[in-house]
Amino acid sequence: MNFFSEIKENIVISYQAINSNKLRSLLATLGIVIGITAVTLMQTAIEGINLAFEKSIAAVGADVLYVQKFEWFGKEDWTFYKNRKELTMEQYDFLNKNSQTATVMAPSTGVTRTVKYQDLALQNVFILGTTYEYQEVSGFNMIEGRYFTQRESQGGYPVCVIGTDISDAFFENTDPIGKTIKLGNFNFTVIGVIEKQGSLLGLFSLDNRVIIPLERFFSLFGDKRGLTYNIKAADINNVEETKEEVRWIMRKARKVPYGQPDDFGVNAQEAFKSTYESLTGLIKIIGTMITGLSLIVGSIGIANIMFVSVKERTKEVGIRKALGARRSTILSQFLIESSMICLMGGFIGLLISFPISLIIDAFVLPTAMPLWIVVLSLFISLMFGILAGFFPAYTAAKMDPVDSLRYE
Amino acid sequence: MDNLIEIKDVTKLYIMGLEELYALKGVNVNIAKNEYVAIMGPSGSGKSTLMNIIGCLDTPTAGEYKLNGKNVNEMEDDELAEIRNKEIGFVFQTFNLLPRINALNNVELPLIYSGKSKDERIELAENALINVGLEDRMTHKPNELSGGQRQRVAIARALVNNPSIILADEPTGNLDTKTGDEIMNLFEELWSKGNTIIIVTHEEEIAQNAHRIIKIRDGLIADDYLSEKGKRIAEQNNMIKSTN
Ligand SMILES: Nc1ncnc2c1ncn2[C@@H]1O[C@H](COP(=O)(O)OP(=O)(O)OP(=O)(O)O)[C@@H](O)[C@H]1O
Ligand SMILES: [Mg+2]
């Protein structure tokens, strides 16, 4: 008997068997339903968070390094960092002069102030002081006006470019270009609006910013604040090389003695990623353990029902064998039955988790259910079906035809 | 005459705990193609055991069984399944239909296991049911049929794959006399079409339908003779031979 037609026939037989025992099959597969619901929800949540993370981390720039006083997610004790000195303009100039592998770099610093336009005010706006190179490093576009020029930058002109949050708040019906806004107590002329950039990890809006020439920033807000050096690596595939170069130049600039650890951090998107991944990795491990457990318990339930089903149908097995069914045919009949019960559980699990994932998406966390999650869930159910059905099916296949025919 | 079934010194031993029980104690019997045999004997004498061995449902403890010249003792499980599927048609006292599926699907079963296509199966199963006079009961489930009708379905199922031997273990045991006679007429018809038929029965009248009667007692063949009908047929055959 041909393998595929055997499977086809056995699917029909299993369908009849399940159909005549609907409630029992449904109850048996409950554990699988719960397991698949859990595993699917977990995956959709992780997938959704991943997507959101990728999106919000994009603003950090995969090819941009940030030289700062501290490392992101530093692992040492606080005392290790407390004596560090701020990054200065002199060190920046030294770095800029000596770096070979960086395309472009810009120093920056910031402060938060209330920003006003006529009688409108926005509190806690981030004022970023930087140079004309900053646009190229960050790679953002202007939706209106322009970014400031080298002359405006070096001359410390009172000009500014603003984020979309500010432009929306102040200039809903008017053209922002040429308008004067107040940063703290100082007047600046708006010369451009930056395209919407979103927020960093949903926490820090990049559109609620005003960017002004660094020279101006120093004269108005002081030049004692530490700087960040924003550096664009020449080759996105070789950020590591640039990072190493920057480190060695910075050690020289800051006169770090040989053998001593760095007293600054060269930060990159990478740092976010690895921290994030270790976090989601933990969630994944815990989630997998929980769902694995419920799937195992679920498949024990299925195995149990299958043993009952085989026992009940001892006579049927005898009849089928008397009519010419081989052991392998009987084996596959019961394996297919348990697989179908589990697949049904998996399918119900998906039907339950899909709307739940939409609800979670709407109110709690972003979620996403790509096709591979659906396929994976069904595949897992199938695997557990085969696993759970194996011993019962094997018992049936091995039955002696005469004994099973005599069974009442 | 070529023997379809050759049974030589066949024994069957059942061991239950410390007790050993020989259901067959050395049976020798040959059955030719297109014979019509009734096996008789008291309860527990080993009739069903012998039938199961002939039908390849069971294997002898010792002795030799050749079917169509092939030694069954040496066969693997899958080969036995194939023989049951292609060579043997079983009819049981308790019908042994699958309760959840209708008459047509029940008759289809042996064809599924021989790998026939759906269309072919339906056609053959319908023909088999028509042959036993059940053309208007095809979609009935077993519990919607009378005992006689169920046994007809079982006979249709036994015949559908065109086996060389029909084995019937007390096919009329659960039927009243009239229905039993109808079933026996069906066997007569099958025999006249060239089938080999072996039935087990308690009843002398039923046995008289066959042409040869084998009596078993205590796991041994006690008697093996032609019935009245068998004698008449033998005489006719002799007359035909002598006139030639
Ligand atoms: N599976 C078994 N285990 C143990 N003993 C068995 C088994 N099957 C049959 N026997 C014994 O073998 C003997 C012959 O049984 P069998 O079923 O062949 O009798 P039978 O002639 O068909 O009887 P009946 O007319 O009552 O159907 C009996 O004594 C029975 O108890
Ligand atoms: Mg019997």
Instruction: Collect all residues of chain A within an 8 Å Cβ-Cβ radius of residue B107.
Output: none
Closest residue (by CA) to atom 24 of ligand 1?
B43
Q: Which atom of ligand 1 is nearest to the CA of B42?
A: 25
pLDDT digits (tens, 9 = 90+) for B42-53: 999 999 999 999
Nearest residue by C-alpha to atom 5 in ligand 1: B14
Specify whether the CB–CB gap between A68 and A91 falls below 8 A.
no
Average pLDDT in chain B: 92
Write out pLDDT tens, residues A330-351: 999 999 999 999 999 999 999 9
Average pLDDT on B67-71 reads 91
> Would you state the structure tokens that stand for residue A355, as one six-digit string?
């709307």
At A59 the pLDDT is 67
Distance CA A194, CA A268 (A): 23
Most informative mutation of B14, B18, B220 for ligand 1 (most atoms within 8 A of CB): B14
Low-confidence ranges of chain A (pLDDT < 50): none
Shortest CA distance from B95: residue in chain A: A319
- Over residues B105-131, the pLDDT tens digits come to 999 999 999 989 999 999 999 999 998
Is the per-residue pLDDT at B215 higher than 90?
yes
Task: Supply the pLDDT for residue A45.
Answer: 81
- Binning pLDDT at 50, 70 and 90, where does residue B244 land? low
Give the ranges where chain B is alpha helix by DSSP (H): 47-54, 77-86, 103-113, 118-131, 147-159, 177-192, 204-207, 228-243
Q: Do B96 and A405 touch (CB under 8 A)?
A: yes
Q: What does the alpha-carbon distance between residue A284 and residue B128 come to, in Å, rounded to a whole number?
A: 60
| B242/B234 Cα distance (integer angstroms) | 12
pLDDT for the residue A4: 81
Find out whether A322 and A8 touch, Cβ atoms under 8 Å: no
Any ligand 1 atom below 6 A from CB of B171: no
Q: Which phi and psi angles does A327 have, rounded to 5°?
A: -55, -45
Q: Where are the domains of chain B?
A: 36-46+76-243
d(CA B92, CA B97): 9
Smallest Cα–Cα separation from A2: which of B184, B71, B140, B117? B117
Count CA atoms within 13 Å of residue A19 on its CB side.
Answer: 8
Residues 6 or more apart whose Cβ sits within 8 Å of residue A142? A161, A192, A193, A194, A195
Q: Which residues pair with B13 in a beta bridge?
A: B22
List the one residue out of A133, A127, A192 whose CA is nearest residue A159: A192
Report pLDDT digits (tens) over A208-231. 999 999 999 999 999 888 899 999
How far, in Å, CA of B83 to CA of B184, rounded? Answer: 25
What is the predicted pLDDT for the residue at A333? 93
Question: Is B31 strand, coil or helix?
Answer: strand
Of A311, A6, A325, which Cα lies nearest the Cα of B77? A325
H or E stretch covering B215: strand B212-217
Tell me the CA–centroid distance for residue A396 and ligand 2, in Å.
24
Cβ atoms of residues A273 and A355 within 8 Å = no
* B45 in contact with ligand 1, CB cutoff 6 A: yes
pLDDT given for residue A201 in this prediction: 63
Asked whether the beta carbons of B91 and B168 are under 8 A apart, the reply is yes
**Which of A323, A327, A333, A337 to probe the B interface (max B CBs under 10 A)?**
A323
Distance CA B33, CA B47 (A): 20
Q: Predicted ipTM?
A: 0.94
φ/ψ region of A24 (left if φ > 0, alpha if ψ in -120 to 50, else beta) reads: alpha
Containing A143, the helix (H) or strand (E) segment is strand A142-145
The predicted structure's pLDDT at residue B124: 96
What is the fold, at CATH topology level, of the domain defined by B36-46+76-243? Rossmann fold (3.40.50)
